[in-house]
């Protein structure tokens, strides 16, 4: 989904090249490959745009890899110390896994919290209470029980660190998009300057002549 948004932004920018006439190719290439057009036209700062692109993309891949690794480690840790059954779990369960000591009705258990919420919502209706519990309580397929509070704390630390890496990866994606836009805008800027003013000095019949043409 994130990569799709990124692609859509690039496509929207590329669609605008129809109004750029002769400069459309340079503009398009500068959007797709930051720094390419600048380097081609002898503007050495284009190398900085190319290097920034490689650095940011590399950082994004690294951060995503670290986030996925930590998530996998936290899952293996929970299998060992919370005794969950191996399988695929949704994010809500993994979040609750770090919030409660167990899935049961004991103190600080998830099902105990569900029962307390049912009683709060339907204090005068035992039937509705039971229905709420049946709808939200964890069954045996989502059983868990942490051996110690320290184990649960360690699990949360791994999950939080993975989320931090994911946040940094999102930031890196934003920087990547910005780098593409800066490159494209830069090409528009210096192309516009070249279209507006053309200054030259010539010598004709031993008389220096200064020519200045301006296009609007």
Kindly write down the DSSP assignment for every residue of 21-52, as one continuous string. Answer: GGGHHHHHHHHHSTTHHHHHTT-TTHHHHHHH
| Residue 212 pLDDT class (50, 70, 90 cuts) | very low
Residue among 195, 193, 176 nearest 58 (CA): 176
| Residue 170 pLDDT class (50, 70, 90 cuts) | confident
Give the pLDDT confidence of 37-78 residue by residue, as tens digits. 778 777 788 788 888 888 988 998 999 999 999 999 999 999
Mean pLDDT over residues 154-175, rounded?
92
pLDDT at 22: 52
Give the pLDDT confidence of 105-152 residue by residue, as tens digits. 998 999 999 999 999 999 999 999 999 999 999 999 999 999 999 999
Give the rounded distance of the alpha carbon of 54 from its chain centre. 17
Phi, psi of 212 (to 5 degrees): -135, 115
Give the rounded distance of the alpha carbon of 95 from its chain centre. 20
Give the pLDDT confidence of 4-44 residue by residue, as tens digits. 565 566 556 555 544 445 566 777 777 778 877 778 777 78
- For residue 123, being part of any structural domain is answered with no
Burial 27-44 (b: 16+ CB within 10 A, else e): bbbbbebbbbbbeeeeee
Helix axes 24-32, 149-196, angle to 10 degrees: 160
- For residue 55, being part of any structural domain is answered with yes
- For residue 199, being part of any structural domain is answered with no
Query: In this predicted model, which residue has the larger pLDDT, 153 or 175?
Result: 153
pLDDT at 10: 57
- For residue 161, being part of any structural domain is answered with yes
pLDDT at 197: 42
- For residue 120, being part of any structural domain is answered with no
pLDDT at 6: 57
Domain that holds residue 54: 2-103+138-193
Query: In this predicted model, which residue has the larger pLDDT, 207 or 175?
Result: 175
Q: What is the DSSP letter of 102?
A: B
CA dist., res. 83 & res. 145, Å (int): 6
- For residue 129, being part of any structural domain is answered with no
- For residue 111, being part of any structural domain is answered with no
Inter-residue contact 211 to 197 (CB < 8 Å):
no
- For residue 23, being part of any structural domain is answered with yes
Return the CA Rg of the chain: 30
Total number of domains constituting the chain: 1
pLDDT at 1: 56
Phi, psi of 65 (to 5 degrees): -65, -45
Inter-residue contact 187 to 14 (CB < 8 Å):
no
Predicted TM-score (pTM) of this structure: 0.67
SS3 104: coil
CA dist., res. 86 & res. 88, Å (int): 7
CA dist., res. 167 & res. 2, Å (int): 13
pLDDT at 85: 93
Burial class (CB in 10 A: 0-12, 13-18, 19+), 126: exposed
- Residues sharing a CB contact under 8 Å with residue 152, sequence separation 6 or more, in sequence order: 82, 98, 101, 146
């Amino acid at each position: 989904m994130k990569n799709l948004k990124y692609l859509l932004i690039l496509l929207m920018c590329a669609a605008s090249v129809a109004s750029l006439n002769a400069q459309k190719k340079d503009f398009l290439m500068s959007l797709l490959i930051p720094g390419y057009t600048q380097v081609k036209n002898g503007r050495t700062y284009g190398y900085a745009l190319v290097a920034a692109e490689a650095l940011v993309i590399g950082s994004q891949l690294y951060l995503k890899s670290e986030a996925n690794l930590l998530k996998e480690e936290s899952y293996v840790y929970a299998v060992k110390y919370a005794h969950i059954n191996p399988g695929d779990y949704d994010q809500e369960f993994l979040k609750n896994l770090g919030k409660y000591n167990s899935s049961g009705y004991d103190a600080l258990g998830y099902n105990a919290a569900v029962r307390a919420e049912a009683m709060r919502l339907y204090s005068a209706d035992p039937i509705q209470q039971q229905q709420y519990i049946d709808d939200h309580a964890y069954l045996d397929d989502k059983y868990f029980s942490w051996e110690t509070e320290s184990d649960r704390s360690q699990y949360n630390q791994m999950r939080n660190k993975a989320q931090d890496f994911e946040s940094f990866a999102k930031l890196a994606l934003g920087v990547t998009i910005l780098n593409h836009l800066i490159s494209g805008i830069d090409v528009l800027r210096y192309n516009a300057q070249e279209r507006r003013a053309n200054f030259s000095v010539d010598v004709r019949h031993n008389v220096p002549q200064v020519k200045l043409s301006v296009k609007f």
